[in-house]
Structure 1
Amino acid sequence: MLFPRLTHPRAYVGAAALLTLLVAPLLINSPFVFHLAVQVCIFGALATAWNIVGGYAGQLSLGHAVFYAIGSYVATMLVIHFGLSPWIGMFGGAAVAVVASLVIAYPTLRLRGPFFALATIAFLEVCRLLVAHFEDVTGGSAGLNVPLNIGLKWMIFREKWAYLAIAFGFLAITLWFSWIIRYSRFGFYLIAVREREDAARAVGVNAVNVKIAAAVISAALTSILGSFHAMYLTFLEPSAAFSLELSIQIAMFALIGGLGTVAGPLLGTILVLPAAELSRGWLSALGNGTHGFVYGVVLVLVVLFFPRGLVGHLGGRALALIDRLPGARGVSPQVPRARAVAVPAERAMQGKPLLVAEGLRKRFGGLLATDNVSLTLHQGEILGVIGPNGAGKTTVFNQLSGFIAPDSGTVKVRQANGEWVHPTSPEAFAQNGVGRTFQIVQPFSGLSVRENIMLGAFMRTKNAEEAAAIAREVAELTDLTSLLEHEARGLTVGGMKRLEVARALATGPKVLLLDEVLAGLNPTDVTRAIEMIRKIRDSGVSVLMIEHLMQATLALSDRIIVINAGKLLREGRPADVVNDPAVIEAYLGKGYLDAQAA
């Protein structure tokens, strides 16, 4: 979706708000108001660019001003030393910023934790020292003066309205980029990684790549904005450009307005920046840094009363009112209906192996968690895996889905053409037809039920409308149709379990791995889940399930495998397995058998 639907009232409201920012200074015709409007546009765009990596992807960049400064300095030095127009120089700055972001992001975003944030701060300080050291090229600590060549080519004007027009254009472009990303497959992937990285990988998302891509896009946009701001200020100084305070200020605007929203960063800027600038002018006699007090007060109030940001708390109500306006309910575009799950045509492979594990061994220190475990799941089969607590079932399950690499042994998956593949990562397993759920449910709680299921469907299509169509079909199969527009965080335990199954089904798997999907459910939800699993098997998806609810496992499974102490203890039909003395002993102990014999 390159543009919001222009006939929707939301488009009119958004356009009116932006045009107000452009027209109001023209009507007032005050130099200070023009300056304030330019600053709002620039910092609103900077906060929006920061929000791509900090809000959508959830990767805190506390040294983000380094990309702003790179754009400023590169464009200015190209003007001074080579006579290049800043319209060209800004793209040179963006290229340097992209390289810098890769240097920071490539190693740090492969790790979880504060490493990316710390690396951006360290890189910011290193760049500041380098700029101060190379005086002949960068001007050193004294800074650089931008040549005052008047004209559009040099981005230098006598009239403030010209600066405002360009700043407004950059703001509109940045918001457009943010809109595209948020409502594209890439945006859904970013939010999924931010919410629950393991669950995102289970639906085929390469978490590292999407985080790096977000960092690169954000750095490039920030650098371009820095290039224009340098032309506007006409002076660069290292301590101001490479400023930790500037980085925190940009992030704070996004936090106040609402992280991960399109309009939030701009709203936060409009709310805070004018108040801070006015207080700087009115209260400057009381001491330097008075505007920082304004930032602090607003931030404390927002954290206390609006922890999800202004848009996060108030946006839903405002959008609901807008959606009631005439024209809000348009005709949905017709898209081809895609099959939600595997098609019955694959029944030709009925009985053939689909998922095969051979000789799986995994040791955690001195504990041998799995010891030479082998199993086979066939087409059209429900295979139950049971065993006492601590037997190693979950470790086996994680090896079958790529979340744990076995020390020895192999896992292979049959493809539609009959060839076997050996995936090695969760996303590779998902892309080769293996879907899974988690023992502790992992919904993307900030998204709706429909958007959660769409995240699985995006592995099969890039089109959001087609993904929504798949989500509706899967919702029918998993009894979630009436809950599609509800937030995932508001579902019952049974609803969340079904949602996780639906998300895995939307990927179009041949094999579905269910990890205690019946645990914690009331009798009604258990009955509903059993019926759902049978429907899934009948649709052509083979099921491997770990379950402690024995009665349901016996009723559902075609075969049962028993794991005890990391080893395969027994395999066979349900009736044979549950009556095996070795199985009874594993669950109830030898004393129970002795008592029965007595």
Structure 2
Amino acid sequence: MTAASPLSLSRRQGLAVRQGAIALIILLGLVLVLPVMIGDAFVYHVFVTICIFAALSTAWNIVGGYAGQLSLGHGIFYGIGAYVGMMLMNVGVTPWLGMFASAAIAALVAMVISYPCFRLRGPFFALATIALLEVFRVLALHFRDITGGATGMMVPLNIGWEWMIFRERLPSLLIAFGLMLVTLAVAWAVRSRRFGFYLVATRERESAARAAGVDTVRVRLMAVAVSAALTAMVGTFHAMYLTFIEPESVFSLTLSIQIAMFALIGGIGTVFGPLLGAVLLVPITELARGWLGAEAIGLHGFVYGAVLVGVVLFMPNGISGLLDRFFKTRAPARTAPGEVAAVAAAPRASGNPQIGEDVLRVSGLQKSFGGLRVTRDVSFTLREGEILGLIGPNGAGKTTVFNMISGFLEQDAGTVEVRSTDGSWRTPVTPGDFAAIGVGRTFQIVQPFAAMTVEENIMVGAFHRHADVHEARDHARRTAERMGLAAYLDMEARSLTIGGLKRLEVARVMAMEPRILLLDEVMAGINQTDVRRAVDLMLSIRDGGVSIIAIEHVMQAVMSLSDRVLVLNSGEIIAKGSPGEVVRDQTVIEAYLGKEYIDAQT
């Protein structure tokens, strides 16, 4: 099948964006206009609640959706906003200033408590946030002189815009609507910039993001600070709207779960999904409470559960995923990269370039895991313009060496030095240090950012040198053209074949403009046609001025690519030299190649 033309694809994407924008404007207009047209106080309350929960859920989504940190303790920041705003109001400070003070305090608290929690993974992070929420609730109960304790605090009923307290409902709706627009604008700005790409990359594959030079801890701390600040601002206003707060309601696990639930149902990780979730669920629960009164106690939990089950079964991507089907015209099905030679083939390089000075020096690397010594005094150099093959049996320690020369694993002994562009030798430590000095790597088990498109995957690498989104996108497209991926830029990475995924990972690293490229079995599991194309591509990359170390088991590729070959066995280098010399070494034959390989070559 043939790929859709870029022009027609661009037109369809532009049409989808325009349709989505029109639908969003209509939805926001209805949220603001409908209660004014109806003029009922209860309807005003429902739409104020929609705006508040849409804002809270959108703020949560920056951490829970973009960064993938499932926080169930966001009530902490909501409670900080409510209490700080009210306490400042008691000393004569307007909530308009109080919300910014509460935002600053919440952001600081969020970074302090989140930093240690980021070491936890999976459900343990969520459990830690729940525990911290309970700590704040108990503290609020204990310091009753400040918080009012279990009896709570009443808001001084100072009427007027200065104090965010009104007799009519319309001004409250306008403020809630404005806060919702602010959170939506911030969420959109985060997602559409380098920061947002880094957050999604960290969520999808943290190790691959670190290899691309992303400081994953820093970007998650920034995300939680922004999310907490927005949540606290909404909390300040909501306290003024309710005119009463107490620890059980503001530091509430139920509230925190509600906030996350709206994003999950509307479309987690999307900009406007939380808004859709709030628009769907809040009217149902609030109208049920209004109509049924005391009989509806606990009904909202049943409604949330029923809707969540339906979404999981029939709309796994949430409401926003369902709406995408109506606003996007799907491109025709296309063959994945690696299946069409005319698209994927790279020109074969002619001749071996002159090899220059050393660019990498590895000396005496040793690494043990408990009583198991994985590497023993591994030393070698890589020269400019050279392709160095690293071969050996499974378990020989090859990937461990790669992890040490890219910052993912700290060596017990030995040094790794990289020559910088100014000629000085440096000793990087972290993956970010190695990326900054021009060392890029792939992984033995391919690690794409599955939920991102091919273009976005490559952009994550391009951001290392190009902070501007448009520049990064242009660089990513040029890199995709070189890698044979230009026809697949709009496809999600998860839809590629294994050959396409390996090519994509190389493209992401090449977008970083590295000087040293570490390739970890990029030809494993692909067919012979793709192997030949991969060899051509590696030679083309080498001719572009990139020095390469390649771990490989495909001897056809090793013999075609390598200027020198190192053989690792049981953590030790047992042979080194040209490919022809190494394959004739009796020690290598016995430890790795076997006599069958030699017989097949003769």
- Indicate whether the TM-score tops 0.5: yes
Which residue of 2 is the match for residue 337 of structure 1? none
Deviation by residue 1:493-516 (Cα, 9 ceiling, x = unmatched): 110000000000001100110000
**Distance in 2 between residues matched to 1:116 and 1:164, nearest whole Å:** 35
Q: Secondary structure at the match of 2:574?
A: strand
In the TM superposition, what is the alpha-carbon distance from 1:592 to its structure 2 partner? 8.0
In the TM superposition, what is the alpha-carbon distance from 1:389 to its structure 2 partner? 1.4
Matched residue type, 2:325: R
Matched residue type, 2:193: S
**Distance in 2 between residues matched to 1:109 and 1:522, nearest whole Å:** 40
Q: Secondary structure at the match of 2:328?
A: helix
**Distance in 2 between residues matched to 1:121 and 1:375, nearest whole Å:** 50
1:150 aligns with 2:159: yes
Which residue of 1 is the match for residue 177 of structure 2? 168
Mapped contact 2:360–2:383 kept (Cα < 8 A): yes
**Distance in 2 between residues matched to 1:5 and 1:142, nearest whole Å:** 55
Pick closer, same or farther for the CA change 1:7–1:451 going to 2, 3 Å.
closer
Which residue of 2 is the match for residue 478 of structure 1? 483
**Distance in 1 between residues matched to 2:570 and 2:329, nearest whole Å:** 59
1:358 aligns with 2:363: yes
1:256 aligns with 2:261: no
In the TM superposition, what is the alpha-carbon distance from 1:477 to its structure 2 partner? 1.2
Matched residue type, 2:147: T
> Which sections of structure 2, spanning at least 5 residues, go unmatched?
1-13, 332-351
Which residue of 2 is the match for residue 314 of structure 1? 322
Mapped contact 2:366–2:413 kept (Cα < 8 A): yes
Residue range with higher mean Cα deviation, 423-432 or 52-61: 423-432
**Distance in 1 between residues matched to 2:400 and 2:304, nearest whole Å:** 49
Matched residue type, 2:203: R
Mapped contact 1:283–1:290 kept (Cα < 8 A): no
Which residue of 1 is the match for residue 311 of structure 2? 302
**Distance in 2 between residues matched to 1:580 and 1:554, nearest whole Å:** 14
Matched residue type, 2:514: P
In the TM superposition, what is the alpha-carbon distance from 1:120 to its structure 2 partner? 2.1
Matched residue type, 1:251: A
In the TM superposition, what is the alpha-carbon distance from 1:429 to its structure 2 partner? 0.9
In the TM superposition, what is the alpha-carbon distance from 1:365 to its structure 2 partner? 1.3
**Distance in 2 between residues matched to 1:593 and 1:268, nearest whole Å:** 61
Which residue of 2 is the match for residue 399 of structure 1? 404
Alignment of 1:421-432 (within 5 A): 421-432=426-437
Which residue of 1 is the match for residue 297 of structure 2? 288
1:586 aligns with 2:591: yes
Deviation by residue 1:491-550 (Cα, 9 ceiling, x = unmatched): 011100000000000011001100000000011211111111111111111111000000
**Distance in 1 between residues matched to 2:254 and 2:28, nearest whole Å:** 27
Alignment of 1:211-360 (within 5 A): 211-286=220-295, 288-311=297-320, 313-320=321-328, 350-360=355-365
Pick closer, same or farther for the CA change 1:7–1:584 going to 2, 3 Å.
closer
Selected match of 1:15 from 25, 28, 43: 25
In the TM superposition, what is the alpha-carbon distance from 1:127 to its structure 2 partner? 1.6
Mapped contact 2:288–2:296 kept (Cα < 8 A): no
1:105 aligns with 2:114: yes
**Distance in 1 between residues matched to 2:121 and 2:370, nearest whole Å:** 23
Matched residue type, 1:273: V
Which residue of 2 is the match for residue 491 of structure 1? 496
Which residue of 2 is the match for residue 533 of structure 1? 538
Mapped contact 1:163–1:232 kept (Cα < 8 A): yes
**Distance in 1 between residues matched to 2:558 and 2:354, nearest whole Å:** 25
In the TM superposition, what is the alpha-carbon distance from 1:44 to its structure 2 partner? 0.2
Matched residue type, 1:195: E
Matched residue type, 1:258: G
Which residue of 1 is the match for residue 43 of structure 2? 33
In the TM superposition, what is the alpha-carbon distance from 1:134 to its structure 2 partner? 2.2
Mapped contact 2:16–2:328 kept (Cα < 8 A): no
Residue range with higher mean Cα deviation, 136-145 or 492-501: 136-145
Which residue of 2 is the match for residue 205 of structure 1? 214
Which residue of 1 is the match for residue 424 of structure 2? 419
**Distance in 2 between residues matched to 1:389 and 1:166, nearest whole Å:** 63
Alignment of 1:74-153 (within 5 A): 74-80=84-90, 82-153=91-162
Pick closer, same or farther for the CA change 1:287–1:225 going to 2, 3 Å.
closer
In the TM superposition, what is the alpha-carbon distance from 1:308 to its structure 2 partner? 2.2
**Distance in 2 between residues matched to 1:133 and 1:396, nearest whole Å:** 54
**Distance in 1 between residues matched to 2:135 and 2:226, nearest whole Å:** 22
In the TM superposition, what is the alpha-carbon distance from 1:204 to its structure 2 partner? 0.3
Mapped contact 1:94–1:223 kept (Cα < 8 A): yes
Mapped contact 1:6–1:12 kept (Cα < 8 A): no
Mapped contact 1:558–1:574 kept (Cα < 8 A): yes
Which residue of 2 is the match for residue 333 of structure 1? none
Q: Secondary structure at the match of 1:507?
A: coil
**Distance in 1 between residues matched to 2:503 and 2:67, nearest whole Å:** 26
Selected match of 1:378 from 376, 379, 383: 383
**Distance in 2 between residues matched to 1:155 and 1:353, nearest whole Å:** 67
Alignment of 1:511-550 (within 5 A): 511-550=516-555
In the TM superposition, what is the alpha-carbon distance from 1:130 to its structure 2 partner? 1.8
In the TM superposition, what is the alpha-carbon distance from 1:178 to its structure 2 partner? 0.1
Residue range with higher mean Cα deviation, 21-30 or 130-139: 130-139
Matched residue type, 1:319: F
Give the total of aligned pairs.
567
Selected match of 1:464 from 469, 488, 491: 469
Pick closer, same or farther for the CA change 1:348–1:412 going to 2, 3 Å.
farther
Which residue of 2 is the match for residue 576 of structure 1? 581
Q: Secondary structure at the match of 1:533?
A: helix
Mapped contact 1:63–1:124 kept (Cα < 8 A): yes
Selected match of 2:446 from 436, 441, 448: 441
Matched residue type, 2:417: K
Which residue of 1 is the match for residue 78 of structure 2? 68
Q: Secondary structure at the match of 2:367?
A: strand
Pick closer, same or farther for the CA change 1:595–1:503 going to 2, 3 Å.
closer
Mapped contact 2:205–2:447 kept (Cα < 8 A): yes
Matched residue type, 1:165: L
**Distance in 2 between residues matched to 1:546 and 1:243, nearest whole Å:** 52
TM-score of the pair, normalised by structure 2: 0.91
Matched residue type, 1:365: G
Residue range with higher mean Cα deviation, 314-323 or 235-244: 314-323
Pick closer, same or farther for the CA change 1:79–1:410 going to 2, 3 Å.
same
In the TM superposition, what is the alpha-carbon distance from 1:99 to its structure 2 partner? 2.2
**Distance in 1 between residues matched to 2:585 and 2:396, nearest whole Å:** 17
**Distance in 2 between residues matched to 1:361 and 1:373, nearest whole Å:** 7
Deviation by residue 1:101-122 (Cα, 9 ceiling, x = unmatched): 1221121113434443233222
Which residue of 2 is the match for residue 56 of structure 1? 66
Q: Secondary structure at the match of 2:228?
A: helix
Deviation by residue 1:110-154 (Cα, 9 ceiling, x = unmatched): 343444323322222122122222222211111111111111111
**Distance in 2 between residues matched to 1:369 and 1:122, nearest whole Å:** 40
**Distance in 2 between residues matched to 1:319 and 1:536, nearest whole Å:** 40
**Distance in 1 between residues matched to 2:443 and 2:278, nearest whole Å:** 40
Mapped contact 1:93–1:227 kept (Cα < 8 A): yes
Mapped contact 2:407–2:430 kept (Cα < 8 A): yes
**Distance in 2 between residues matched to 1:585 and 1:276, nearest whole Å:** 73
The alignment's C-alpha RMSD in Å is 2.3
Q: Secondary structure at the match of 2:311?
A: helix
